[in-house]
Structure 1
Amino acid sequence: ILVYNKPPFMPCHQSCGHAADTLANVFASHCDKLGQMLMYRPLNRLDRDTTGAVVIAKTRFAAASITGGFHKVYRAIVCGVPEPREGRIDLPIRREFPEEMRRIVAEDGQRAVTNYKVIAENGEYSLVDFTLETGRTHQIRVHMSYLGYPLIGDPMYGQPSAKIDRQALHCASIGFQHPVSRKDVQVSCPLPEDMKQLCREFGFKIPELKEK
């Protein structure tokens, strides 16, 4: 098992226009240095502009053993201060239009459940931790925008920002059961520099997440 702290603006997979700047390329380079030939098996994915933990299985056995068995904590900086400061959002999500990426909250959508907790705020912006009970595309971004607290810098569900050139969203921690030892493993990934800079500007103290 490998866990990467994916930087911003790096896709997880190769695509048209992204043939050599992906996490798949980073993994291939790692294998070359070790003299290994391994298949790229990412067990979770993040949007190109979202940072943080991505788990890659080095063997088919590992991939089959822990697929779906993750506990993830996301951190985001949102506009405003969510009320209440801690809660559970249970709102269905679907595509706004067929074949388009943008999602909306809609009664005929798939169930989507997001738990959140404000961990720092300054009256104008908040640092928020999220855990997900479902894994819908753009779930955190859609839910927070719908409630009136869009992620700062989110061009699709909020507004671009001069303070950061992407949505301020980071997968800060990922936990799973090790496929061989069966012990619980939790890996934390520190915030990227652009989000750290925002936290400093907004006066937020960043609590650490424990590792196992």
Structure 2
Amino acid sequence: MQRLTFPVPPDCDGMRLGVFLRTRGVSAACIKSVKYQGAGFFLQGRSVYTDERVRAGQRITFDLPPDPPTDVQPEPVAFSVAYEDDFAAVLDKPAGVAVHPTLNHTGGTLANGWLNLLQSRGETGVFRPVNRIDKNTSGLVLCAKNAYAAPLLSKSAQKCYLALVQGIMPPGPGRVDAPIARRGDSIIGRCVDPSGKPSVTEYTVLGSGGGHSLLACTPVTGRTHQIRVHLSWLGHPLAGDDLYGGETALLSRHALHCAVLRFDCPPDGQHRRVVSPLPADFAAACDVCGLPAGDELMLMLSSILPPG
């Protein structure tokens, strides 16, 4: 059980407790769960209701209720922990591992692996991914470790993906603003269509060679397959992405890696920036094309989504 404490600053003097908690980032749903499923709120050690007024210098404390039961079973799954504190965890997922169980992937997912890690530590919890990536996309997945942190992390998270595309693109920045809809001939496929939802991807071409280009892509919106669809629509499908016109000679899966993740960490909102180097298959494809894949690439990414 996790206990949170919030001192009341002078500018919140006289606020009702419920309003004060919202200024600290505590969601309405979290307040409700503490009231009805937990032990409630305490002011200077005294139990209080959310309509009571708080005074500067006082301290509000409360325990987050236990997580609800989950149907996800612990299983050993390959992944690494790139960052972790009491409120957030950033997991580095290899390609080929689904993020969470579905009808087609009931086990062997990142969710199963996270619960297995918690169990090995003697801890309990649930899997709360803030961002999701495709099964064959590698890289960083941000997870909230409690219900308080989840909406705050979701609000602040930003991602940068590395994409290896077919064809030579001019160096420098670019932007795709094209709506995305379901593709009629496929259960999972998407396409650019005027009837679709607004979708925006910003990118920077980091280099070209061997008939391919390496891009750093930052999705402004979060549509399914957004980067894959947008780049294919530009005429530059991802290497290995046979769903959207890519060839598999260079890479057997689509060349997309979530390389940079920036977020504001609760409860103080301190900026965090986590970076994941290219996995071996992606790096090897870049080497074949004469494109940066190691320290040089990480240096190029240092100016993208800076921590401050």
TM-based fold match above 0.5: yes
Secondary structure class of the residue paired with 1:68 = helix
Larger RCO: 1 or 2 (CA < 8 Å, sep 6+): 1
Q: Which consecutive unaligned segments of at least 5 residues does structure 2 have? A: 1-87
Question: Which of 206, 215, 225 is equivalent to 1:138?
Answer: 225
Residue 137 (structure 1) shift: 0.8
Aligned sequence identity (%): 38
Aligned to 1:35: 122
Residue-by-residue CA offset, 1:64-97 (whole Å, 9 max, x unaligned): 2221321111101000122464211111111112
Aligned to 1:171: 258
Q: Residue 159 of structure 2 aligns to which amino acid in structure 1? A: K
Supply the distance in 1 between the matched residues of 2:171 and 2:154 (Cα, whole angstroms). 33
Does the alignment pair 1:64 with 2:151?
yes
Does the alignment pair 1:200 with 2:287?
yes
Secondary structure class of the residue paired with 1:42 = coil
Secondary structure class of the residue paired with 1:67 = helix
Contact 2:228 2:238 in 1 (8 A): yes
Change (3 A) 1:86 1:65: closer
* The structure with more radius of gyration: 2
Structure 1, 158-167 or 93-102: larger mean CA deviation? 93-102
Residue-by-residue CA offset, 1:113-150 (whole Å, 9 max, x unaligned): 11111101115101100111111111111111111100
Supply the distance in 2 between the matched residues of 1:137 and 1:18 (Cα, whole angstroms). 18
Secondary structure class of the residue paired with 2:216 = strand
Aligned to 2:134: 47
Residue 17 (structure 1) shift: 4.2
Q: Residue 171 of structure 1 aligns to which amino acid in structure 2? A: C
Contact 2:169 2:208 in 1 (8 A): no
Residue 100 (structure 1) shift: 2.1
Residue 13 (structure 1) shift: 0.8
Does the alignment pair 1:26 with 2:133?
no
Question: Which of 142, 147, 151 is equivalent to 2:238?
Answer: 151
Secondary structure class of the residue paired with 2:204 = strand
Question: Which of 188, 195, 209 is equivalent to 1:101?
Answer: 188
Q: CA RMSD in A?
A: 1.7
Report the TM-score, using the length of structure 2 for normalisation.
0.66
Q: Which consecutive unaligned segments of at least 5 residues does structure 1 have? A: none
Question: Which of 147, 165, 172 is equivalent to 1:78?
Answer: 165
Structure 1, 87-96 or 198-207: larger mean CA deviation? 198-207
Q: Residue 73 of structure 1 aligns to which amino acid in structure 2? A: C
Structure 1, 80-89 or 117-126: larger mean CA deviation? 80-89
